[in-house]
């Protein structure tokens, strides 16, 4: 006798993963003063919609100075199971004086497969306004392995950059 198990990624799963990232953002706020609680709420709502649709390839949040990372967390989304770890563990000792808060998202093929009108409809449904751009360059620092969050057969692998 054999059995198979399938997992369906739902809006509830998307809310769970987004809540883990939002908890990390709150730790950034605790250590560095940004982002504001209202902005975290907006980013959470955006992430729920984008994760639920299967549109997020990577998501990065942190601080940059002169276009270079000072401290950030990069989340890579994959349709795999992983160990679901607790949120937190954000690097607490970066010098962010003169740095600015940023978030950056890259999109999946599923996103680009939508028509322009469908992408606009999704963008109009979220409280953030993303503009085309490129990721930040690495500053004087290094990347470290991080944590993983998982729900419904989708995971985010988090890596941190800090000086």
Domain residues of the chain, as ranges? Answer: 11-162
Measure the CA–CA gap between 96 and 24, rounded to whole angstroms: 17
Phi, psi of 144 (to 5 degrees): -130, 150
| Class for the domain spanning 11-162 | alpha beta
* Per-residue pLDDT, 48: 98
CA distance between the termini of the chain: 54
Q: What is the mean pLDDT of each run of 10 residues along the chain (163 residues)?
A: 62 98 98 97 98 97 97 96 93 97 97 96 94 91 94 96 93
Measure the CA–CA gap between 71 and 130, rounded to whole angstroms: 21
* Per-residue pLDDT, 133: 87
CA atoms within 13 A on the CB side of 125: 12
Measure the CA–CA gap between 64 and 56, rounded to whole angstroms: 22
Tokens of 77: 């989304």
| The model's pTM | 0.93
* Per-residue pLDDT, 6: 53
* Per-residue pLDDT, 7: 62
Q: Which residues contact 72 (CB under 8 A, 6 or more apart)?
A: 60, 61, 62, 63, 64, 102, 136, 160, 161, 162
* Per-residue pLDDT, 62: 97
What radius of gyration do the chain's Cα atoms show?
16
């Amino acid at each position: 006798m054999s059995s198979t198990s399938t997992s369906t990624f739902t809006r509830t799963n998307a809310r769970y993963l987004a809540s883990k990232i939002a908890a990390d953002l709150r730790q950034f706020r605790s250590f560095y003063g940004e982002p504001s609680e209202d902005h975290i709420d907006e980013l959470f709502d955006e992430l729920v919609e984008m994760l639920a649709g299967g549109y997020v390839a990577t998501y990065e949040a942190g601080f940059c100075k002169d276009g270079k990372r000072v401290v950030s967390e990069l989340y890579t989304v994959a349709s795999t199971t992983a160990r679901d770890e607790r949120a937190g563990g954000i690097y607490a000792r970066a010098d962010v004086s003169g740095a600015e808060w940023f978030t950056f998202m890259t999109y999946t093929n599923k996103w680009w497969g939508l028509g322009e009108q469908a992408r606009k409809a999704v963008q109009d449904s979220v409280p953030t306004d993303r503009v085309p751009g490129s990721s930040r360059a690495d500053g004087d620092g290094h990347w470290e392995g991080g944590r993983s969050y998982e729900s419904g057969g989708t995971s985010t692998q988090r890596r941190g950059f800090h000086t």
